[in-house]
């Protein structure tokens, strides 16, 4: 029986496996994040008290050093527990905002912050709603007329070898940070300089030649017209050829905004509210800084709060609250506006980075969280914002149908930019394991037990336990089948299989509402071939190493009578409690014993 055949690499020496498995969940997504029994609520309360403790005592050497200078709001949200968004939040108002004459003096879930580059996520999502596949893949030189003209122009006197290939740069390449276009496009102000530390004079301090401002073309800051912007950036040398390597580019998103606007015939400032903010009831989210007094009164107003650089809004000029972020994140997880299949397709990496734990999508910054206890990998889809006095994160964790957000602001730029990553790690390190543990606890309650044939003449049954996998080399954490009797035969003969959710309940085009499909596996599973330590063939390399990532390769390979041997489909009630199971190959239905 192929399913039970031991992997050729499985030797008694290989014990430390990592439950990476198929990409996706080990358990069905947790549904209780907020009750007094929820491990997620408990972890959130502990996280909150660690922030409180730092802010009260400011102990030396804490990683949270500097947090006292940063006003921030952070919160969890979940598709399955709407109470999470209002209840699991943390807010801190730094003295400068507590004392501010403009805007709010006390932040909460409705406080409006600049979101900086989280805006890029809204820009791509808006494009997904508004553009066709053909438009996404049209060369920019066909969309923005000026570019064709400047297609072969390099910066005067640069002697540089490459021009940007505007006929190969597409909106989809820009959305994926894979166009290789110049990053900044333009300096932030009407000077020649960007990206150096404060106060650096490139001529006096670094020996660079004086360059006249006029050499930058007709546009020297973001107040210029779209046409002047395009003319000015079109000749800047590329970083890479298109689709070479991810390269973060604000300029790319300014150009993407121009392209979306040209393709739809609508100003970008109108597209966001019409396509996204209004349909999702995001009444405190704005393209550009809020204008109405009532909205400004709810805002975290710091110097440079106002943002009238409409050209740059698609890159970094949107404003929002964490309550609206929760609405947006939940809507993405729910596929409320974009069909579910397109949402799944969108929420994938399009490129590796040089790190095994960090990939890039459109424009997802995808971190691979490694659970410290089991080594399981959970993919976290994020978009960061980090510019000047504002920043934040929108984070989605598809396998839990949950996510979290952070918005922060401070006139202390050093503190803000450092602290926001520390805060995000505090949240991730506390909440990802808690979501996994809660999913496991719910899976135990909802699935564990014995399932027996209702036909008394048929001796068929299935016993499911949590963390019961006993096969050497397979990870222990999962639902598992510890005994399976089919018509009087003990199928597993004392072994056990892990059960991994493959198609969730209620999937529009899945097995249907009220049914949950699982795939059984007994494969060892490693996060990389170097992690496997596999040595039974006397070699560690990528090709033998494929077999340390067996689940995706052999899934559904073993069939009988048209059904996968590994397929188990459960009927669940509205609370997700299993009532019956069908081991597909047996064609029998087994009822869960009370
Ligand atoms: C800004 O934050 C840094 C880092 O926490 C701190 O050392 C510095 O004193 C802060 N500056 C002001 C003006 O508060
Ligand atoms: C207002 O600022 C002063 C110092 O500038 C500070 O001592 C005070 O605590 C602040 N007020 C609040 C409510 O934080
Ligand atoms: C803050 O309020 C003052 C008047 O009290 C006004 O002059 C200033 O422009 C406001 N700043 C912002 C960013 O709205
Ligand atoms: C750009 O250069 C290529 C190759 O030299 C040439 O075929 C093309 O016509 C040029 N395009 C423009 C707009 O000048
Ligand atoms: C910012 O915008 C508000 C509202 O439009 C306006 O009242 C204020 O004067 C502006 N502040 C600055 C510094 O431009
Ligand atoms: C999920 O989307 C459906 C439409 O497909 C909508 O009716 C429902 O309200 C949404 N639920 C949430 C929690 O957003
Ligand atoms: C159970 O096994 C008996 C004896 O081999 C066989 O006759 C019968 O068809 C089997 N029933 C089912 C439902 O598999
Ligand atoms: C059903 O089959 C199992 C496995 O062969 C066996 O241990 C058990 O005794 C059988 N039960 C009955 C009632 O025959």
**For 442, left (φ over 0), alpha (ψ -120 to 50), or beta?**
alpha
Looking at mean pLDDT, say which of 145-159, 373-387, 503-517 comes out highest: 373-387
Q: Answer whether CATH 3.40.710.10 is correct for domain 113-186+221-411.
A: yes
Residue-wise over 148-158: b if at least 16 C-beta within 10 A, else e?
bebbeebeeee
* Nearest atom of ligand 4 to the alpha carbon of 149: 13
360 vs 366: CA distance, rounded Å: 6
The ligand placed nearest to the CA atom of residue 234 is 4
The model's pTM is 0.92
- SS3 annotation, 236-254: CCCCCCCCCCCCCCHHHHH
Ligand 1: which of 71, 72, 97, 414 to mutate, judged by most atoms within 8 Å of the beta carbon?
414
Ligand 1: which of 54, 62, 66, 302 to mutate, judged by most atoms within 8 Å of the beta carbon?
66
Other C-beta atoms lying within 10 Å of the C-beta of residue 574: 9
Confidence of residue 2 (pLDDT cuts 50, 70, 90): very low
* Nearest atom of ligand 2 to the alpha carbon of 105: 13
Ligand 8, atom 10, lies closest to the CA of 488
How far away, in angstroms, is 300 Cα from ligand 2 center?
Answer: 16
The size of the chain, in residues, is 594
Q: What is the mean pLDDT of residues 299-323?
A: 95
pLDDT score of 200: 84
Render pLDDT for 530-546 as a digit per residue (tens, 0 to 9). Answer: 877 666 667 888 888 77
Residue-wise over 292-327: b if at least 16 C-beta within 10 A, else e?
eeebbebbbbbeebebebbbbbbbbbbbbbbbbbbb
Measured CA distances, 373 to 37, 38, 433, 504 (Å)? 22, 20, 9, 25
Q: Choose the weakest-confidence range: 253-262, 407-416, 547-556.
A: 547-556
Work out the angle at residue 432's Cα, subtended by the Cα atoms of residues 430 and 435, and round it to the nearest 5 degrees: 105
Q: What is the mean pLDDT of residues 248-272?
A: 96
Kindly state if the Cβ of 489 falls inside 6 Å of ligand 7.
Answer: no
Portion of the chain with pLDDT greater than 70, in percent: 89
Q: What is the domain partition of the chain in residue ranges?
A: 2-29+441-592, 113-186+221-411
Confidence of residue 12 (pLDDT cuts 50, 70, 90): very low
pLDDT score of 6: 35
Measured CA distances, 225 to 312, 412, 537 (Å)? 11, 32, 64
Q: Choose the weakest-confidence range: 12-21, 169-178, 485-494.
A: 12-21
Q: What's the token pair of residue 577?
A: 């409690």
243 vs 433: CA distance, rounded Å: 35
**1 has a pLDDT exceeding 70:** no
Q: By the 8 A CB rule, do 18 and 527 touch?
A: yes
Q: What is the mean pLDDT of residues 566-585?
A: 95
Ligand 7, atom 14, lies closest to the CA of 487
Please list the alpha-helical segments (H only) found in 240-321.
Answer: 250-264, 268-272, 293-297, 313-316
Q: Choose the weakest-confidence range: 152-161, 525-534, 583-592.
A: 152-161
Render pLDDT for 430-468 as a digit per residue (tens, 0 to 9). Answer: 999 999 999 999 999 999 999 999 999 999 999 999 976
Q: What is the mean pLDDT of residues 315-337?
A: 97
DSSP 506-529: T-TTSS-TTEEEEEEE---B-SSH
Residue 484's beta-bridge partner residues? 462
Q: What is the mean pLDDT of residues 247-258?
A: 96
How far away, in angstroms, is 336 Cα from ligand 6 center?
Answer: 5
pLDDT score of 330: 97
Ligand 8: which of 461, 463, 485, 487 to mutate, judged by most atoms within 8 Å of the beta carbon?
485
Kindly state if the Cβ of 293 falls inside 6 Å of ligand 3.
Answer: no
Q: Choose the weakest-confidence range: 147-151, 250-254, 339-343.
A: 147-151
290 vs 246: CA distance, rounded Å: 33
Kindly state if the Cβ of 214 falls inside 6 Å of ligand 3.
Answer: no
Render pLDDT for 58-112 as a digit per residue (tens, 0 to 9). Answer: 999 999 999 999 999 999 999 999 999 999 999 999 999 999 999 999 999 999 9
Kindly state if the Cβ of 458 falls inside 6 Å of ligand 7.
Answer: yes
Q: By the 8 A CB rule, do 347 and 381 touch?
A: yes
Q: What's the token pair of residue 423?
A: 């805060």
**209 has a pLDDT exceeding 70:** yes
Portion of the chain with pLDDT greater than 90, in percent: 69
> Is residue 274 helix, strand or coil?
helix
pLDDT score of 7: 36
- pLDDT, the chain, mean: 89
* Nearest atom of ligand 6 to the alpha carbon of 82: 13
Work out the angle at residue 555's Cα, subtended by the Cα atoms of residues 436 and 3, and round it to the nearest 5 degrees: 100
Kindly state if the Cβ of 55 falls inside 6 Å of ligand 2.
Answer: no
Render pLDDT for 286-302 as a digit per residue (tens, 0 to 9). Answer: 999 999 999 999 999 99
**18 has a pLDDT exceeding 60:** no
pLDDT score of 15: 36
């Amino acid at each position: 029986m192929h399913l039970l055949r031991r992997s050729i690499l499985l030797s008694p020496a290989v014990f430390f496996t990592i439950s990476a498995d198929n990409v996706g969940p080990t358990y069905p997504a947790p549904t209780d994040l907020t009750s007094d029994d929820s491990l997620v609520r408990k972890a959130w309360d502990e996280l909150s008290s660690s922030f409180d403790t730092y802010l009260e005592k400011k102990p030396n050497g804490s990683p949270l050093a500097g947090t006292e200078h940063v006003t921030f709001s952070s919160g969890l949200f979940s598709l399955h527990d709407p109470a999470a968004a209002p209840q699991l939040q943390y807010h801190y108002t730094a003295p400068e905002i507590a004392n501010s004459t403009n805007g709010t003096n006390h932040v909460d879930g409705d406080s409006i912050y600049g979101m900086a580059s989280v805006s890029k996520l809204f820009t791509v999502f808006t494009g997904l709603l508004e553009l066709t596949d053909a438009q996404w893949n049209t060369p920019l030189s066909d969309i923005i007329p000026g570019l064709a003209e400047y297609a072969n122009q390099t910066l005067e006197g640069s002697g540089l070898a490459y021009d940007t290939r505007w006929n190969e740069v597409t909106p989809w390449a820009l959305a994926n940070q894979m166009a290789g276009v110049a990053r900044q496009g333009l300096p932030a102000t009407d000077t020649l300089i960007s990206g150096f530390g404060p106060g650096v004079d490139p001529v006096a301090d670094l020996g660079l030649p004086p360059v006249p401002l006029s050499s930058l073309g007709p546009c020297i800051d973001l107040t210029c017209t779209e046409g002047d912007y395009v003319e000015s950036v079109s000749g800047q040398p590329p970083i890479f050829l298109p689709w070479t390597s991810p390269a973060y580019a604000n300029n790319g998103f300014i150009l993407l905004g121009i392209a979306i606007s040209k393709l739809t015939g609508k100003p970008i400032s109108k597209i966001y509210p019409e396509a996204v903010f209004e349909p999702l009831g995001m009444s405190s989210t704005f393209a550009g800084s809020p204008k109405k007094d009532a909205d400004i009164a709810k805002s975290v107003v710091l110097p440079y709060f106002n943002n009238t650089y409409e050209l740059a809004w698609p890159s970094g000029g949107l404003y929002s609250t964490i309550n609206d972020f929760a609405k947006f994140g939940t809507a993405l997880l729910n596929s409320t506006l974009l069909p579910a299949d397109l949402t799944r397709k969108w929420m994938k990496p399009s490129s590796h980075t040089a790190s095994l734990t960090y990939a890039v999508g459109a424009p997802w910054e995808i971190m691979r969280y490694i659970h410290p206890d089991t080594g399981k990998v959970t993919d976290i889809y994020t978009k960061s914002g980090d510019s000047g006095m504002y920043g934040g994160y929108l984070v989605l964790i598809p396998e839990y149908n949950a996510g979290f957000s952070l918005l922060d602001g401070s006139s202390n730029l050093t503190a803000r930019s450092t602290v926001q990553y520390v805060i995000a790690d505090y949240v991730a390190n506390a909440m990802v394991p808690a979501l996994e543990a809660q999913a496991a606890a719910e899976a135990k309650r909802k699935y564990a037990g014995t399932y027996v044939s209702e036909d008394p003449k048929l001796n068929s049954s299935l016993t499911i336990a949590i963390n019961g996998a006993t096969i050497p080399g397979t990870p222990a954490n999962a639902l598992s089948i510890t005994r399976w009797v089919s018509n009087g035969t003990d199928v597993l003969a004392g072994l056990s299989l892990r059960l991994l959710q493959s198609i969730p309940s209620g999937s529009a085009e899945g097995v249907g509402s009220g049914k949950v499909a699982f795939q059984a596996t007994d494969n060892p599973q490693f996060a990389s071939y170097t992690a496997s330590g596999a040595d039974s063939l006397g070699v560690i390399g990528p090709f033998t190493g494929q077999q340390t990532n067996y689940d995706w390769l052999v899934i559904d390979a073993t069939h009988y009578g048209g059904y996968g041997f590994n397929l188990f489909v459960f009927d669940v009630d509205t609370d997700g409690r299993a009532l019956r199971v069908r081991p597909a190959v047996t064609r029998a239905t087994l009822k869960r014993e009370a």
